[in-house]
């Protein structure tokens, strides 16, 4: 059993970018911890904590061990970075070193073997997503943990961007900018076939009711995905992509890999006191397993394909 920490910007990102991978790793018996930087709220009490509740539900569906909020507020995707809400810092404004130390402390405490983070532009340039890349990279360095970055092939977005805009499945995105989202195929080191976990991924997405019923710029896409028949969802969301800095192309998690017994190489001075740090709040203790033992057994023979890009 290995321990994998999936670091994300907002509740819902964990499903969209890595939901199938989390479900696969959990079904294989690994311990997956989801860490979200923000609570997904731009204004004080905007959703009254509901988005973190939805994350908890999604984490349970995906089979994650627990979900943790790193203690920041959503920065919003607009051109203006608003003042911080009372008592909480917007993640885009967070000190990278300080946030990285918090995450590195968690990586050390949990004896993490692998950190999933974001590509350098956070997929599409949202300031919180870019910050996830920076904080994730620095935390991995501090804790001495391997990092692999979730992304989307740029060529794929260039191909379907116009269609998504035409159908108004995404709004307030510009096609010329969309062509620069994600990473080029040549930089992608891991493609994970998650079609077997499509039902879990779709259910995880549906748990994010705030998104599904919102008027946000991806709400129509959310609704379309949640309502799409499984075979269609499998086509749309059946692959997840990662780029490993340095181009390493080994398996994401080797078969039979176990968590390191000793703490990571992070020095004590970088390790924040997690247990009494109110900003790192475990919002989800071991959730109810979504898969019954028989289902896990049935799926454990499936071999994931994590191959190098050509
Ligand atoms: Zn996000």
Q: What b-and-e string marks burial along 289-306, b requiring 16 or more CB atoms within 10 Å of the CB? A: ebbeeeebeeeeeeebeb
CA–centroid distance, residue 7 to ligand 1 (Å): 11
pLDDT at 286 over 60: no
CA–centroid distance, residue 12 to ligand 1 (Å): 7
For 240-281, write each residue's pLDDT tens digit.
Answer: 999 999 887 788 998 778 876 544 444 433 334 333 334 344
CA–centroid distance, residue 74 to ligand 1 (Å): 9
CA–centroid distance, residue 132 to ligand 1 (Å): 10
CA–centroid distance, residue 289 to ligand 1 (Å): 25
Instruction: Give the global pTM.
Output: 0.83
C-alpha span between 150 and 243 (Å, rounded): 6
Contact 65, 286 (CB under 8 A): yes
Q: What is the pLDDT of residue 216?
A: 73
Residue 162 — very low, low, confident or very high, per pLDDT cuts 50/70/90? Answer: confident
CA–centroid distance, residue 13 to ligand 1 (Å): 5
CA–centroid distance, residue 98 to ligand 1 (Å): 21
CA–centroid distance, residue 295 to ligand 1 (Å): 31
CA–centroid distance, residue 129 to ligand 1 (Å): 6
CA–centroid distance, residue 59 to ligand 1 (Å): 16
CA–centroid distance, residue 40 to ligand 1 (Å): 8
CA–centroid distance, residue 10 to ligand 1 (Å): 5
CA–centroid distance, residue 77 to ligand 1 (Å): 9
CA–centroid distance, residue 105 to ligand 1 (Å): 23
Q: Crossing angle, helix 230-237 and helix 219-227, to 10 degrees?
A: 130
Q: Where do the structural domains in the chain lie, given as residue ranges?
A: 3-152+187-195+239-303
Q: What percent of the chain has pLDDT over 90?
A: 60
Least confident of 26-40, 42-56, 112-126, 223-237: 42-56
Number of H helices, E strands in the chain: 11, 8
Check: CATH 3.40.50.10320 for 3-152+187-195+239-303? yes
Contact 48, 8 (CB under 8 A): no
Q: What is the pLDDT of residue 131?
A: 98
For 69-112, write each residue's pLDDT tens digit.
Answer: 999 999 998 788 899 999 999 999 999 999 999 999 999 999 99
CA–centroid distance, residue 301 to ligand 1 (Å): 33
């Amino acid at each position: 059993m290995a321990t994998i920490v999936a670091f994300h910007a907002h509740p819902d990102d964990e499903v969209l970018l890595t939901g199938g991978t989390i479900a696969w790793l959990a079904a294989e018996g690994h311990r997956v911890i989801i860490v979200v930087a923000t609570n997904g709220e731009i204004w004080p009490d905007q959703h009254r904590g509901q988005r973190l509740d939805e994350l908890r539900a999604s984490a349970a569906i995906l089979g994650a061990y627990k979900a943790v909020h790193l203690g920041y507020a959503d920065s919003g995707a607009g051109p203006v970075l608003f003042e911080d809400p009372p008592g909480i810092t917007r993640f885009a404004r967070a000190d990278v070193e300080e946030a990285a130390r918090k995450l590195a402390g968690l990586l050390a405490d949990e004896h993490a073997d692998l950190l999933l983070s974001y590509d350098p532009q956070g997929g599409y340039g949202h300031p919180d997503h870019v910050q996830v890349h920076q904080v994730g990279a620095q935390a991995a360095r501090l804790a001495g943990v391997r990092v692999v970055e979730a992304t989307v092939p740029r060529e794929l977005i260039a191909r379907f961007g116009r269609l998504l805009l035409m159908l108004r499945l995404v709004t307030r995105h510009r096609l010329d900018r969309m062509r620069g989202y994600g990473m080029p195929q040549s930089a992608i080191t891991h493609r994970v076939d998650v079609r077997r976990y499509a039902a879990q991924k779709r259910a995880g997405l549906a748990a994010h009711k705030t998104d599904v019923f919102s008027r946000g710029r991806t709400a129509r896409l959310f609704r379309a995905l949640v309502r799409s028949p499984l075979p269609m969802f499998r086509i749309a969301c059946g692959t997840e992509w990662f780029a490993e800095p340095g181009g390493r192309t080994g398996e994401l998690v080797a078969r039979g890999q176990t968590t390191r017994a000793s703490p990571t190489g992070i020095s004590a001075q970088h390790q924040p006191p997690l247990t009494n740090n109110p900003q790192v709040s475990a919002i989800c203790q071991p959730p109810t397993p979504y898969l019954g033992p028989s289902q896990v057994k049935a799926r454990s023979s499936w071999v994931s394909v994590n191959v190098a890009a050509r």
